Amino acid sequence: MKVIRSQSAGFCWGVERAIDIAAKFADDGRHPVYTDGPLIHNKQMMDRLTQKGVREVGDYQSKSTVEVSHEEKDEPIMVVRAHGISPDRRKYLKNLEMEFRDATCPDVGIIAGKIRLHAKKGFSTVIFGDPQHPEVIGLMGYTEGKGHVIQTKEDIDNLPEFGPVCLVSQSTMFTHEFEELSQHLKINNPEAVIIDTICGATKERQTGVVELAAEGAEAIVVIGGKHSANTRKLALLARQQKLPTYHIETWDDLDLDEIINFETVGVTAGASTPDFIIDDVCKKLETL
């Protein structure tokens, strides 16, 4: 079987940076290393980090109380994951009597900064994204109580009347959807400030899926966590290319009876998928 691997598949730099920060503390003998919720949306990588001594506490949305126990000789440290957190959550974690290290993706930090800057000027903030996603939950904390999350044109139509407004996006959304919603928001808010905050890594991966189809892929395998927002987006985009699409976490999830029917398969992966999983899938596909 011929395998076309997208050049942009796998870890984005923000995720890789967060992993490096937590892993380095563990490798240097600093224990325990806590993360507020899963550091990344990839179970296999989290298992490897757990073996190093990195411990996940809290919850997926960074809302629950953190309960930890360690011995007096330990030097605990709390690492904030790449998705970022709200100012209130940051204050809470810093008061846990342990060292605090922020591994928020700098791209997400830029979005938070833009929201805070406009909120201070009296702007309401509209965020295009999933209201249950930890990145969006964290960003809402910077809106000074004047934030709204939207996903559709109908959501925009149901927004209350407000004065000056800025529109930003969760970093992993579709660019074309953001553009459509931007134009719709401007119908009733012609002076709205539109800030495209979809990260470059997301745009590269989305472009890569389209390129796989153009290069002759008969089917596309998308590798990444089932709960990973950017991976689910890649799988949806692949289906929009009218190609059979298989969203898997590891090789064991792949339906071999179906995939064997294709001569050329494209492979991509979400921003939280490590290379060792992508390599494994590609090598095994090539043997079919």
Q: Which residues are the active-site residues?
A: 135
Per the structure block, which two tokens stand in for 145? Answer: 């109580």
Residue 103 DSSP symbol: -
What sections of the chain are H helices per DSSP?
13-27, 43-52, 87-94, 106-120, 134-140, 153-157, 175-188, 200-214, 229-240, 256-259, 275-286
Provide DSSP, 160-227: PP-SSEEEEE-TTS-HHHHHHHHHHHHHH-TT-EE-----HHHHHHHHHHHHHHHTT-SEEEEES-TT
- Sheet hosting strand 219-223, strand order edge to edge: 2-5, 264-269, 219-223, 245-248
